Structure 1
């Protein structure tokens, strides 16, 4: 007979992923990197970074918006990262 006792732990929450799309020598990218790192550390999100100069598709799509922040693959913001807005999107 199967155990029908409810689990007190339940499924583990999915880890959110923040992707920062940047280019070399970009001061706004440096600013965004700091905000993303801080909020990700607070929320447990995973951070990945992609260099727009190494990917033609990213270059074509985002060149005029750098830096770009994606949350779980969806565009969240570009140019300036609002710390409170990013935190809200991750919680």
Structure 2
């Protein structure tokens, strides 16, 4: 299996992170992609970097969105080559 193309940075108890996860799970399942979720609470550098802008999503190592995840925008990013 290849490395996940989508990374979701967030924290437990974050309702926007929960919303983002639902969108990411749906789009990744439809497209046969995988994702990884990382808690910023486990790393002081991630806390400093992302702070209150969570959730933050990366696609292929580049920042894609923060706060809200657009289903269409994520789908487009994952299907464009």
Q: TM-score, normalised by structure 1?
A: 0.80
Decide which structure has the larger Cα Rg and report it. 1
Where do 4+ consecutive residues of structure 1 move more than 4 Å? none
CA 1:53–1:38: 2 relative to 1, 3 Å: same
Q: 1:41 aligns with which of 29, 38, 41?
A: 29
Q: CA–CA distance in 2 between the matches of 1:57 and 1:25? A: 20
Change (3 A) 1:52 1:16: closer
Q: How many residues align?
A: 78
Calculate the TM-score normalised by the size of structure 2.
0.89
Q: Distance in 2 between matches of 1:61 and 1:16?
A: 21
Aligned with 1:83 (options 71, 74, 79): 71
Unaligned regions of 5+ residues in structure 2, if any?
none
* TM-fit CA distance, 1:63: 1.0
In 2, are the aligned partners of 1:15 and 1:46 still within 8 Å (CA)? yes
Asked if structure 2 preserves the Cα contact closer than 8 Å seen for 1:22 and 1:49, the reply is: yes
Listed as ranges, the gaps of 5+ residues in structure 1 are 1-13
Q: 1:45 Cα deviation (Å)?
A: 1.5
CA RMSD of aligned residues (A): 1.4
- Cα distance, 1:76 vs structure 2: 0.2
